[in-house]
Structure 1
């Protein structure tokens, strides 16, 4: 099961990145998150772990597996029968908007079943995240 969404943001790339990697503040700008808590006191990057509580979903721990400063990060969460991977990527052209690309992928023996029951919710949460990132980044 793979879902992807993109959104254009009229803000400097540095501002969008700053908002995106301040993960503990996500609940302030997206209704898809109830609580986001960093699990260690170190810079956010490869190896960082985060506990996330989302509405209608069990609490999960995510580990950053890939981190390109100013550009993208990927984190992974594993539970019995499912591996969830989420990619957060920014691209921009000179003088143009920043495009955020959000990808959510689930694999494993239980992924097809979960897709049947949670597919709409996942699409909704990706949309809320993209819209919220846009609003927060474009506000002063």
Structure 2
């Protein structure tokens, strides 16, 4: 299953990239992230890992699998019978940025996740709103 939310944010791509990749700050402005601990140091890169605690879920370790500066970072986590892939997509849109947030589920239990589709879409909308508010606050 694939769930996505695209929004235009009145902030330049370089600012949105910083907000997107400085993942340690997410709990400060994203209601969908209670705790986030980087498990390595330095800039986010392919192979970087973070332990994330989200509401009503157990903690999970996410690993960056793709990173294209100022365009995309993708990471994945696996649980028994389920793989989740999160994509963070950015592209210039006039003087602002078009941000895409995508969650894909795969594996034997991905059908069970379809029951939670409304919750997944709501979480993506909340994250997009959080990034929009944070971009306005730091501009």
Both proteins in one fold, TM over 0.5: yes
TM-score by length of 1: 0.94
What is the SS of the residue equivalent to 2:31?
Answer: coil
Q: Which runs of 5+ in 1 are unaligned?
A: none
Superposed CA RMSD in Å reads: 1.1
Distance in 2 (alpha carbons) for counterparts of 1:41 and 1:103: 25
CA deviation profile, 1:27-51 (whole Å, cap 9, x unmatched)? 1111101001100123211000010
Give the match for residue 130 of structure 1.
Answer: 128
Match of 1:30 in 2: 30
Separation (CA, whole Å) in 1 of partners of 2:109 and 2:45: 29
Q: Secondary structure at the match of 2:130?
A: helix
Displaced runs of 4 or more, over 4 A: none
**Matched residue, 2:16:** 16
Question: Between Structure 1 and Structure 2, how many residues are aligned?
Answer: 138
Gaps of 5+ in 2: none
TM-score by length of 2: 0.94
Partner of 1:2: 2
Deviation at 1:9, TM superposition (A): 0.4
> Pairwise mapping of residues 14-93 of structure 1 onto structure 2 (< 5 A)?
14-93=14-93
Aligned to 1:115: 114
Helix, strand or coil for the counterpart of 2:11?
coil
Partner residue, 1:97: 96
Distance 2:135 2:113 in 1: 32
Contact 2:71 2:91 (C-alpha < 8 Å) held by counterparts: yes
